[in-house]
Amino acid sequence: MSRLHIFQKVANVLVYLFFLSATVYSLVAPSSDDTIAEGQTYITPSFWISYVWTIIHLLLGGFVIYQWFSPAHEVALHGVGWHFVISVLLSAAWLALLKTGHYIIGFIFVLLTASSVSYIFYRLEKEYDINNWWDLLFVHAPFSLWHGWIVFSAVINLFQAFTGVNEDGPSVFMRILVILGIVFLSSTAVGYVQFKKKKGDVTGAIVIGLGLIAIFTNQNDPWIHWPALVAGIATLLYAASPLVCKLLGRSSSSESAPLLG
Confidence tier at 130 by pLDDT (50, 70, 90): confident
Q: Give the chain's end-to-end CA distance (angstroms, integer).
A: 27
Is pLDDT larger for residue 3 or for residue 102? 102
pLDDT value for 259: 43
Whether 257 is covered by a domain: the verdict is no
Q: What is the mean pLDDT of residues 182-211?
A: 82
Mean pLDDT score across all residues of the chain: 86
pLDDT value for 256: 42
Q: What is the mean pLDDT of residues 76-80?
A: 91
pLDDT value for 25: 66
Confidence tier at 194 by pLDDT (50, 70, 90): confident
Q: Which domain holds residue 204?
A: 3-248
Whether 138 is covered by a domain: the verdict is yes
Whether 242 is covered by a domain: the verdict is yes
pLDDT value for 53: 87
Whether 57 is covered by a domain: the verdict is yes
pLDDT value for 112: 96
Whether 235 is covered by a domain: the verdict is yes
Confidence tier at 166 by pLDDT (50, 70, 90): confident
Distance, CA of 247 to CA of 133 (rounded, Å): 19
Whether 260 is covered by a domain: the verdict is no
pLDDT value for 45: 95
Confidence tier at 199 by pLDDT (50, 70, 90): low
Whether 49 is covered by a domain: the verdict is yes
Domain count, the chain: 1
Q: Is the pLDDT of residue 176 over 90?
A: yes
Confidence tier at 164 by pLDDT (50, 70, 90): confident
Q: What is the mean pLDDT of residues 176-184?
A: 96
Q: What is the mean pLDDT of residues 196-203?
A: 61
Whether 256 is covered by a domain: the verdict is no
